[in-house]
């Protein structure tokens, strides 16, 4: 365990995705779909836990948020407040792992790797008072657009739910749900893709930073007179070997099984209210998607997994507030 007083300037804080039950995720899905059915809008606040879980799946890792410790506060990018320095007490209900930067067997803060350039870069970003920040749903959107083809979305969501059902009865009912309402589910997911593309376009146009990108920019662009930009660059890990998807759910109890079955019935009732055919695409489908997908695969976009698995970072311990 690492206490607040034991944190070192330059530490990278990564928030773990909370472990919830499949029932809790089904409840979030039902809430989101119910609102979509009635308004054709997506309530991303209501789906926060669901978004975090899917981030872990699409990133194939178990963190959803990243920040930089400047010695007094965390420098981070959030939807509410933008890129700011915030009090670390906001993490009191989160599970946070602390990572530290190393290069050539030297630890950050040593004479070979002074921390001042990083602190100066972090403060420069804070001083810009950026009125926008991207995390949560925004990171999910960029992950989906850059790392997964849109034709895979529904099947991936199906895999997540079936893999975590922990009950033959629940899995069987989910299978039937996807079989019976596949057109409606496609419609909902297609709507999310449109929303994702809108988000990614904003990200590109405004050049805003997602949470993990903020940390990467601090490190990658830090420089001083004796050390050129690039000295502190966080090298991305190799993804040649595909990691197993991270799926975080608690086991189902007998009571939970019956509740899940009831929840799936409710989902079916909501999906039945949608027409099986609907056109929700507002962009030139395949071409726009592939253009944006290709342009965002560049090395300047980082996810929490990139920070955790870099050869330049090591896990120091779990934060205790």
User: What integer pLDDT is reported at residue 317 of this predicted model?
Assistant: 97
Q: Which of 17, 290, 278 is nearest to 139 (CA)?
A: 17
Q: What is the Cα–Cα distance from 125 to 197, expressed in whole angstroms?
A: 26
pLDDT band at 263 (very low <50, low <70, confident <90, very high): very high
Please tell me the total number of residues recorded for the chain in this structure.
321
User: What integer pLDDT is reported at residue 241 of this predicted model?
Assistant: 44
pTM above 0.75, yes or no: yes
pLDDT band at 283 (very low <50, low <70, confident <90, very high): very low
pLDDT of 252 strictly over 70: no
CA quadruple 139, 142, 143, 144: dihedral sign: positive
Going from the C-alpha of 162 to that of each of 26, 78, 247, 310, the distances in angstroms are: 12, 32, 11, 31
pLDDT band at 163 (very low <50, low <70, confident <90, very high): confident
Q: What is the Cα–Cα distance from 26 to 246, expressed in whole angstroms?
A: 18
Token look-up 């039902």 returns 30
pLDDT in tens, 177-195: 999 999 888 888 877 777 7
Q: How far is CA 233 from the centre of its chain?
A: 22
- Given a contact cutoff of 8 angstroms between Cβ atoms, the answer to whether 35 and 143 are in contact is no
What proportion of the chain, given as a percentage, has pLDDT over 90?
A: 34
Q: What is the Cα–Cα distance from 68 to 205, expressed in whole angstroms?
A: 25
- Given a contact cutoff of 8 angstroms between Cβ atoms, the answer to whether 313 and 99 are in contact is yes
Backbone angles phi, psi at 154, to 5 degrees: -60, -45
pLDDT band at 119 (very low <50, low <70, confident <90, very high): very high
Burial (CB < 10 A; 0-12, 13-18, 19+), residue 240, is exposed
User: What integer pLDDT is reported at residue 132 of this predicted model?
Assistant: 57
pLDDT in tens, 25-48: 888 888 888 988 888 887 777 777
- Given a contact cutoff of 8 angstroms between Cβ atoms, the answer to whether 287 and 54 are in contact is no
pLDDT band at 12 (very low <50, low <70, confident <90, very high): very high
Which of 35-39, 205-209, 256-260 is the least confident region?
Answer: 205-209
**Secondary structure class of 206 (helix, strand, coil):** helix
């Amino acid at each position: 365990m690492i206490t607040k007083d034991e944190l070192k300037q330059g530490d990278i804080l990564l928030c773990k995705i909370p472990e919830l039950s499949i029932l809790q995720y089904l409840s979030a899905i039902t809430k989101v779909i119910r609102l979509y059915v009635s308004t054709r809008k997506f309530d991303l606040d209501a789906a926060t836990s669901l978004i975090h879980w899917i981030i872990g799946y699409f990133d194939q890792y178990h963190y959803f948020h990243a920040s930089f410790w400047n010695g007094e506060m965390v420098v981070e990018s959030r939807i509410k407040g933008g890129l700011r320095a915030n009090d670390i007490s906001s993490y009191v209900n989160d599970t946070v792992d602390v990572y530290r930067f190393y290069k050539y067997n030297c630890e950050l803060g040593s004479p070979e790797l002074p921390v001042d350039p990083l602190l100066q870069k972090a403060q420069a970003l804070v001083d810009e008072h950026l009125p926008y920040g991207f995390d949560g749903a925004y990171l999910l959107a960029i992950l989906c657009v850059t790392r997964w083809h849109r034709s895979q979305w529904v099947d991936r969501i199906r895999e997540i739910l079936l893999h975590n059902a922990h009950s033959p009865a629940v899995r069987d009912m989910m299978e039937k749900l996807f079989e019976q309402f596949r057109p409606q589910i496609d419609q909902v997911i297609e709507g999310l893709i449109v929303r994702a593309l809108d988000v990614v376009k904003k990200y590109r146009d405004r050049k805003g930073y997602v949470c993990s990108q903020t940390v990467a920019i601090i490190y990658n662009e830090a420089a001083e007179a004796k050390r050129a930009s690039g000295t502190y660059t966080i090298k991305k890990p190799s993804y040649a070997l595909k990691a197993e998807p991270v799926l975080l759910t608690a086991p189902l109890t007998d009571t939970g099984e019956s509740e899940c079955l009831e929840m799936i019935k409710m989902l079916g009732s909501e999906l039945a209210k949608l027409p099986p055919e609907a056109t929700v695409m507002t962009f030139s489908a395949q071409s726009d998607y592939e253009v944006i997908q290709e342009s965002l695969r560049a090395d300047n976009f980082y996810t929490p997994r990139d920070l955790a698995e870099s050869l330049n970072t090591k896990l120091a311990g779990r934060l205790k507030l």
